[in-house]
Structure 1
Amino acid sequence: MLTAEENETLTRVGPGTAMGRMMWRFWLPIATTAQVPEPDSDPLQANLLGQSFVVFRDSSGVVGVLDELCMHRGVSLALGRVEDGGVRCLYHGWKFGVDGAILDTPNHCSDRFRKRMKAPAYPVVEAGGLVWTYIGPKKQQPPFPHLPFMDVPEENRAVIRANIACNYLQLYEGGVDSSHVGVLHSNQANPTWKAGEFTANDEDDNPGALSVADNAPTLEIEDAAFGFHYVAKRVAEVGDDGIPAHSIRATPVFLPVGRVIPAPTVEFYVFEVPTTDTETATFIVIYGNRPVSRPRFMEMLGLDDERLFDEDTADFLAHRLPRFGQDRRSMATGWTGLRGIQQEDAVLALSMGPVVDRTKEHVVAADRAIMHLRAQLLESVRRNEAGQHPLGLVADYGPMRSPCDTDLEPGRAWRDHVPGNREVTTVEDDEQMATAS
């Protein structure tokens, strides 16, 4: 159980908060490439850590991230025109480049002013189907991180964004909770479990498809440079010698907002990016060694339901509907009255309210990874406030892996299945090695 003060620290992310200052230290996704699809396309209003920005692609195809409000009189640049190499405010026509340079001030004809002043602009990298930005202190800007899904051909990757009206931690905690998979997602994991039977789902791209029926996995956790990884060990069968065989599912949890969800043939990289205290942008990147179908994953996640998800705005709409859009009649044959993994996860997180009061909960052994996540986030905040590097500041996540439902041989350690996770190093370690050499 958390104290009220700890819960406040974990959930408040805006300017002036300790969690916000810690998350400033990381490159974070602010948009998908598809949201600013072509040169001079419509600008995008985007929130990140309680601040408002405009994201736009200029005439040469370069993406910029600026403060949303025009530095002249505070009008939203997200209403503006993107043309002739910049974004132009509608109010008085001031135009800004992706670097914040003032390109035109029609109502103030002063070259000296334009050269002397500059709009707040932020570093941007476009990679892996996402637009990334860094809004923290310039002197503390880390190297841009490399993630495995950035290396595959575009057709081998699907990128999805969903804006969900609740605090990021409710969604993040759900993502590191392996014990809910066989229950909440039983329509994917084991549709016959209510009848006391187990029928394995043979969809090799479905992260909800468990290979065994055990809904009370044993969790083992180990800290790593990126945060931590843990294994959920599920009993598969008991041998003639009385020793149980296990199926393991390993989950890397990389701070401050990411995790990897495995399926046999693809991996899901999920980022729960706080836009405000009570809103989250969930970015999901699915990739593998073969072409992936975005419509297939939209259906699997339940985001093809137009009642609950607006593809144009990326808004998840369940909080506006009675019972969050739940179909009670379908519960006669299904489990939740909902359809799809993300739809189920998001609705249950929404049902907690905008920011859940964790002082009233009663955690059990199956919640160990959630408790560890909270402890690491609080420790990361403490370190950042003390002038140290936060936990999980990594430049290269390339070796990180997440095996799905793998047989664990008796006497073999689960860590042997994820050797690359131990090879990841922090920015601090890299700096120390560079100094030593």
Structure 2
Amino acid sequence: MLSREDNELICRVGPGTPMGNLMREYWVPALLSKELPGPDCDPVRVMLLGERLIAFRDTLGRVGLIQNHCPHRGASFFFGRTGECGIRCVYHGWQFDINGNCIDMPNEPAESDFRHKVKAVTYPCVERGGLVWTYMGPRETPPPLPDIEINMLPEDEIAIIPSYVESNWLQAVEGEIDTSHTGFLHFGSIQPEDVEEGTFLHYTVKDRAPKYSVVDTEYGTMYGAYRPAKPGYVYWRIAHFNFPFYTQPPEGALGHSVIMNAWVPMDDTHTMSYVMVRKGKSETGRPARLPIQGDSEKYPDMHVPMLPNTSGWFGRFRPAVNATNDYLIDRDVQRNGDDYSGIQYLASQDRAVQESMGGIYDRTQERLASSDVMVIRVRRRLLGAARALAEKAVIPPGVDNPEVYRNRSGGVLLPEGADWIEDTKELRQAFVEHPEIAEQQPQP
């Protein structure tokens, strides 16, 4: 468990906080490119690291991210007029470009040079892989973007699934790096005899208490969760935490699966999730819900339904299955054993437990066990990096070394006694194709 002081330090991300300052050292996903569909389109409200910002696309197609309040009298730029390579406050017509320069002040005398003395806070933006990235840190020249494989592929090969999570960012990250919950929350009602022998799912439900090996890396932390497989072999689930808030879950076969999940803090108690996967047989590369025995028509394999977006600060990409309807839990399905949780969708199952902890869970109340070793190690790394930056100005891991993000995750069978780190080195390398891997191992 964490002390109260450490729990506050690791969870709070607003301006001036140690963890907020750490995250501002990195490029951060701000929104999807398609949310700004064309030059001079409607502005979008964006809550990011505790700051209220307005995203807009100018006449040349460039993206700007500007402070919410006009520097003149504080009216919101959300109501602004886009055009003429800027955004114009409708209160008095002051216009600003994507760099925060005031380029027109029509209610002042023509001979006035006052506009040259007024500047709005803006953050530089770049687009890559369907995402708008922004740098909110102190450097005049930002660091390079991270070499995240999935974000560097052609856009037609990428599926991005955005989703609003009503909890602190760390609860979402910790849910993703906790591999033992898979055999319960998601697969708890599936028995070994219900699935094909030799599949990853078979090994998972046959032994729901894996052992762990965890190591620190240049980019964060890596774990290998292992359990017995066919005679003479061990099934390994290898996954990563990447600074400051990325996870690569062990979905699919190691060497074939290309995935990265970003858990971007909107503020201390709201998170925007971006699941980025390489398109495959399904749009997302992952099942929207897990298989159950029984009525497949009642629980179809489909995406979590979403509510229509609104223009509010927390109005984007909200799941229709949420706390207000108890995540549509079906107690009959839960009781009769068709589904362990009784909640239909995989993502909704995760969201239900993470959001049920509250906005920021009081980790002084935890009782951690051996299965929480990855959670413990990641917390130590985050706290250590935040304190090193605050106290000694040590640049956090990966900021200036984009190549350290070139990793893959997934499941793999290794002979008993194998060195899991050395023997998976090639399979864990990004941008290396292994066409034979996809057909070797049946997937759940």
When normalised by structure 1's length, the TM-score is 0.85
The answer for the alignment partner of 2:328 in structure 1 is 325
Alpha carbons 1:225, 1:392 under 8 Å: kept: yes
Alpha carbons 2:257, 2:408 under 8 Å: kept: no
Gaps of 5+ in 2: 291-300, 311-315, 431-444
Which structure's relative contact order is higher, taking Cα pairs within 8 Å and 6+ residues apart? 2
- Of 242, 262, 285, the residue aligned with 1:271 is 262
- Give the aligned CA root-mean-square deviation in angstroms: 2.7
- Deviations along 1:172-221, one digit per CA (max 9) or x if unpaired, are 100110111121111xxx7532xx63414999xxxx95654221111101
Alpha carbons 1:30, 1:132 under 8 Å: kept: yes
The answer for the alignment partner of 2:278 in structure 1 is 287
- Of 367, 371, 381, the residue aligned with 2:372 is 367
Distance, in Å, in 2 between the alignment partners of 1:191 and 1:351 is 22
Alpha carbons 2:261, 2:275 under 8 Å: kept: yes
Alpha carbons 2:195, 2:201 under 8 Å: kept: no
Please state how far the C-alpha of 1:105 moved relative to its aligned partner: 2.0
The AA in structure 2 aligned to 1:391 is P
The answer for the alignment partner of 2:296 in structure 1 is none
Distance, in Å, in 1 between the alignment partners of 2:402 and 2:412 is 28
- Deviations along 1:79-106, one digit per CA (max 9) or x if unpaired, are 2222222222222222221111222222
When normalised by structure 2's length, the TM-score is 0.84
Select between 330-339 and 121-130 the one with higher mean Cα deviation: 330-339
Please state how far the C-alpha of 1:328 moved relative to its aligned partner: 2.3
Alpha carbons 1:191, 1:199 under 8 Å: kept: no
Alpha carbons 1:376, 1:391 under 8 Å: kept: no
Does 2:149 align with 1:127? no
Please state how far the C-alpha of 1:340 moved relative to its aligned partner: 2.2
Does 2:308 align with 1:339? no
Distance, in Å, in 1 between the alignment partners of 2:404 and 2:149 is 7
Alignment of 1:181-220 (within 5 A): 181-186=182-187, 192-193=190-191, 197-200=193-196, 209=201, 211-213=203-205, 214-220=207-213
Aligned length: 406
Alpha carbons 1:300, 1:341 under 8 Å: kept: yes
The answer for the alignment partner of 2:161 in structure 1 is 160
The AA in structure 2 aligned to 1:224 is T
Distance, in Å, in 1 between the alignment partners of 2:24 and 2:18 is 10
Alignment of 1:50-65 (within 5 A): 50-65=50-65
Other structure's SS at 2:229 match? strand
Give 1 or 2: higher helix fraction.
Answer: 1
The AA in structure 2 aligned to 1:378 is L
The AA in structure 2 aligned to 1:316 is P
The answer for the alignment partner of 2:85 in structure 1 is 85
The AA in structure 2 aligned to 1:103 is I
Gaps of 5+ in 1: 425-437
- Deviations along 1:268-325, one digit per CA (max 9) or x if unpaired, are 311111111111111111115x58625x86945988443x654662123555514243
Other structure's SS at 2:61 match? coil
Does 2:203 align with 1:234? no
Please state how far the C-alpha of 1:29 moved relative to its aligned partner: 0.6
Cα 1:8/1:152, change in 2 over 3 Å: same
Other structure's SS at 1:380 match? helix
Alpha carbons 2:165, 2:273 under 8 Å: kept: yes
Alignment of 1:374-413 (within 5 A): 374-385=379-390, 386-393=392-399, 394-397=401-404, 399-402=406-409, 404-413=410-419
Does 2:256 align with 1:256? no
* Percentage of matched positions with identical amino acids: 31
